[in-house]
Amino acid sequence: MLKNVGTLDRNVRIVLGSVMLVAGLIFQSWWWLLGLAPLITGILGFCPLYVPIGFNTEGGYGSTGGYFDQSAKPGKLGGRLSD
């Protein structure tokens, strides 16, 4: 599985997911269920929602490549996608 979640993104997801999980268990609400998604994607380092939009934070924030994976975009590199 190709990783598309960077270190900072992973850490934020793990912390946020853990907080939501614990809050849901303490307050006996459905928040624990919502906390599973960021926690699992943070642990695995892969987000399936990033794939269709070509988003990739694995290169790191502030990298020269930017956030978007250029190979995932349709059309010519550097060209306009539509007029």
- 8 in any annotated domain: no
pTM of this structure: 0.69
- 46 in any annotated domain: yes
Q: Containing domain of residue 48, as a range? A: 24-65
Q: Structurally, how many domains does the chain consist of?
A: 1
Predicted confidence at residue 65, as pLDDT, reads 44
- 56 in any annotated domain: yes
User: What tens-digit pLDDT sequence spans the chain (83 residues)?
Assistant: 788 899 999 999 999 999 999 999 999 998 899 999 999 999 999 999 988 888 888 876 654 444 555 555 555 555 555 54
- 1 in any annotated domain: no
- 54 in any annotated domain: yes
Predicted confidence at residue 14, as pLDDT, reads 96
- 83 in any annotated domain: no
How far apart are the C-alpha atoms of 58 and 22, rounded to whole Å? 27
- 12 in any annotated domain: no
- 37 in any annotated domain: yes
Predicted confidence at residue 2, as pLDDT, reads 84
